[in-house]
Structure 1
Amino acid sequence: MLWPVPTRWADNDHYGHVNNVTYYSYFDTAVNAWLMHATGTDIRDLPAIGVVAETSCKFLGSLSFPDRLRVGLRIARLGRSSITYDLAIFREDGDRLELAATGSFVHVYVDEQTRTPIEIPSVIRGAAETLL
């Protein structure tokens, strides 16, 4: 699955390229936007919250505003209370996609009130199974 994520003027740092911390924002945006689209629900209204327990990023190319991006998503692991995503950020270059970064992202689902791990909500699990 490739999810579009635009760069913004504010993403560039003093050196004229997207600051490395912003790549994590692209991962977060793509995962949560895809979840909302795939489930047809506002995930913020569920009794379980997907908290980010772990992320990683390997930088392979430079990005800069106004680059157009696609974030590739797939499920690497679907557990009882967590989902591990494999991710890749691509810069659109005409008809080509240039790989700029790869990474991973772990959502652990916790109870909204107690913040203790609980089972992944069925609507989230159903969407995640489509990316296995």
Structure 2
Amino acid sequence: MPRPTPDPRSAYPHHHPTPTRWADNDVYGHVNNVTYYAYFDTAVNAYLAARGALDLQAGTVIGLVVETGCAFFAPAAFPELLSVGVRVAHLGRSSVRYELAVFREGEEAACAQGHFVHVYVDRDTRRPVELPGVLRAVLEGLQA
């Protein structure tokens, strides 16, 4: 499989500011690989919550991650201000494939980019459900 190449900032319709934290660095002096997944999760869920498409406490529909991946191109480290680009690559009946990229301040090429797939399910039964209308409308605004 060919190695991916970093996307430009312009490939993502939304950017979420993400300051690094002291705890993000590992013993090698850069942001640890697992931390990028937290950045991805935060960027998506903050976007959805701010637009009324996600009710974290009382919503009947929640998104479960069923697939994820990330490619790394350049290191980031504390203290840096990053931004996470967010786009929707596929919008299904009950699932969404998000593509995300992390950008260092002042740089046009991603230092890391990845994806995850959410399957939206009923909070209680954990069975897949059709995307609610407001969620679908918000996600359509992120389609690449």
Q: Same fold (TM over 0.5)?
A: yes
SS at match of 1:99: coil
Q: What's 2:21 paired with?
A: 8
The partner residue of 2:114 within 103, 116, 121 is 103
Alpha-carbon distance, 1:40 to partner: 6.3
Aligned-partner Cα distance in 2 for 1:111–1:47: 6
Alpha-carbon distance, 1:14 to partner: 1.0
Q: What's 1:32 paired with?
A: 45
Q: Is the 8 A contact 1:35 1:43 kept in 2?
A: no
Give the gaps of 5 or more residues in structure 1: none
Normalized against structure 2, the TM-score is what? 0.84
Alpha-carbon distance, 1:41 to partner: 5.3
- Over the residues paired in the alignment, what is the CA RMSD in angstroms? 1.4
* Higher strand content, 1 or 2: 1
Q: What's 1:113 paired with?
A: 124
- Flag as ranges the 4+ runs of structure 1 deviating above 2 A: 38-45
Matched, 1:64 2:77: yes
Normalized against structure 1, the TM-score is what? 0.92
Aligned-partner Cα distance in 2 for 1:81–1:42: 17
The partner residue of 1:52 within 51, 61, 65 is 65
